[in-house]
Structures are given as structure tokens and as C-alpha cells.
A = this chain, B = another copy of it.
Amino acid sequence: MDNNIESMERLIYSFSKLPGVGRKTAERYAYRVLELDDDTVSTFAKSLVDAKSKIHFCSVCGNFTEADICNICKSRKSSIICVVKEPKDILAIEKAKNSNYLYHVLHGTISPMENRGPNDIRIKELLGRLDGVTEVILATNPDIEGEVTANYIAKLLKPLDIKCSRLATGIQMGSDLQYADEVTLTKALEDRKEM
């Protein structure tokens, strides 16, 4: 049956471009599409094209927006800038309680392996936004590239007398000690807090 229905195969192929979607999941999605009514499917198609054509980067922070400046930059006042690797990291941080920061999206991290240096990500743009800023939270991922990038930026900010911070790493809330990996556990012990 595979590849016998051409339009079905093309749809399955499109779905398999999504993250974590293999052949089997793509097939399930494609079959569901055939069960949806015509209007829902055309709305789906339109929403793909619309999102792609209307959304671009905020000229200030680099987040996704339909306008020139994103809603956060437009409406929020804060002297704290939270620096992230990608726009979707903003979504994650916004879900945390009391996060009322401004953001700065680097659109990447420094990666010698992938030949990406400090000039290939939006560090210069960050330096241009520091007027009135009291703290920069370096919220890049706690992996090698994220650490390198955070350290690099922290070093640049040091002479400017701006507080630099990094998200705390440690055992995940609600998790089980026995499932924590060695590196996390070592770090959590090193960074233990007095009670």
C-alpha cells in the first residue's frame, strides 16, 4: 500500500519534517487529516503558510513577531535582560512564575565544532541594548556550547559593571535522585545551599 497513493505519500513526507516525527507517526497524522473535514484541512494549510509568511524576528530582541517590534519589547519595562539561544526558549521561561524580563535571542551559540564564532550570533546587538540594564541573565542551555557562550558574554560584560547571572543547575524538581545523571548530581552537590 505504501507509496501507492501519491498525495498521501507526499503528505506523510511533509509531516516527517516535524521534530521527532518518524514514518509511523507521520502516517497516523496523514490518516487523521483524511478524517478531518475540508474546512479544517484548508484552515490548517492556510495557517502554515500564514505563520511562515507573517512571522519574522523582532528588530529589538530577535523573538518571533508579526509586527516590527514584539509584544514583550513593546509593552514590558524591565532592567533585566534574559539572554537565550532561540525564540522558543522565551516561551519556556515565560512559563516560569514571576518572569517579567526583557529578552535577547542570540539565534545560536558559539560553536567551534560548527564553525560558529561570536560574530555569527547576536552578541553585538546585545551590547547595543545595555543602556539602563542592571542585570543580564545568561539563560543559554547548560551544555558545552551554552556554557561557552555564557562565559564569553559574561567576560564582555564584566568591565561594564552589569550583573551577570546564570540559571541554577541541579536536580530536577519532583524527580528521583536515582535517575539523576552523574554530572548533574556532582554539580548539585557542589552548589548545595545552606538551609
Contact = CB atoms under 8 A, between A and B. Distances in A.
A165 interface: no
Interface stretch (A48-56, A123-131, A167-175): A48-56
A145 to B, nearest CB: 18
A34 interface: yes
A47 B14 contact: yes
Given A34-B52, A45-B46, A45-B48, A18 B29 contact: yes
Interface stretch (A1-9, A113-121, A136-144, A179-187): A1-9
A50 B10 contact: yes
A97 to B, nearest CB: 15
Nearest to A25: B20
A94 interface: yes
A55 B1 CA distance: 14
Interface stretch (A64-72, A146-154, A156-164): A64-72
A70 B38 CA distance: 22
Nearest to A28: B19
A36 interface: yes
A87 B52 contact: no
Given A18-B29, A50-B11, A51-B10, A34 B64 contact: yes
A23 to B, nearest CB: 11
A33 interface: yes
A98 interface: no
Interface in A53-93: 53-55, 63-66, 70-72, 87-88, 90-91
Contacts of A88: 27-28, 31
